[in-house]
């Protein structure tokens, strides 16, 4: 139970801390923290349901992207204000570390394995962001044509 709460707190603090790092106003930084918290819940639930790491990363990033678009419209700010700090949660930094460590250690097969895992995670993040961005852009175009 404590581990679950620590992961959720870490999700909130990572997203809010990333927002503070980019000098986002306090209200929006707290909103980023909330988005980070919700996306951490999705990632934990997906991982506990034995869904692959790549798919759980995709689902959590999909939620981040949707909530970032909605928050940007509500707060009348650019989407990147909310998207970039919240994506820090899912960036495969440990995979990149393992790639370099394996290369230095002389294990090219391990390095290749970590490389492909890291690229899959990065691809899942990019695909989720691109998909939601495309849907929101098409929705705006359809909405402006109708009114």
Domain locations in the chain as residue ranges:
2-146
Dihedral of the alpha carbons of 31, 34, 40, 46, in degrees to the nearest 10: -100
Token representation of residue 18: 């990333």
Per-residue pLDDT of the chain (147 residues; tens, 9 = 90+): 788 889 899 999 999 999 999 999 999 999 999 999 999 999 999 988 988 989 999 999 999 999 999 999 999 999 999 999 999 889 988 999 999 999 999 999 999 999 999 999 999 999 999 999 999 888 766 556 655
Q: Are 16 and 36 in contact (CB under 8 A)?
A: yes
| 114, 99 Cβ separation under 8 angstroms | yes
Gyration radius of the chain over CA positions? 17
Contacts of 45 (CB under 8 A, 6+ apart): none
**pTM as predicted:** 0.85
């Amino acid at each position: 139970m404590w581990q679950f709460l620590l992961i959720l707190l870490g999700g909130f603090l990572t997203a809010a801390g990333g927002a503070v790092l980019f000098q986002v106003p306090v209200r929006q930084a707290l909103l980023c923290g909330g988005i980070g918290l919700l996306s951490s819940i999705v990632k934990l639930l997906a991982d506990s349901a034995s869904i692959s790491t790549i798919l759980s990363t995709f689902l959590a990033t999909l939620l981040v992207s949707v909530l970032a678009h909605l928050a940007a419209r509500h707060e009348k700010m650019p989407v990147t204000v909310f998207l970039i700090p919240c994506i820090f949660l899912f960036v495969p930094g440990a995979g990149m570390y393992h790639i370099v460590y394996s290369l230095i250690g002389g294990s090219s097969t391990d390095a290749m394995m970590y490389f492909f895992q890291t690229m899959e995670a990065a691809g899942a993040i990019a695909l989720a962001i691109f998909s939601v961005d495309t849907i929101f852009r098409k929705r705006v175009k359809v909405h402006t044509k109708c009114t």
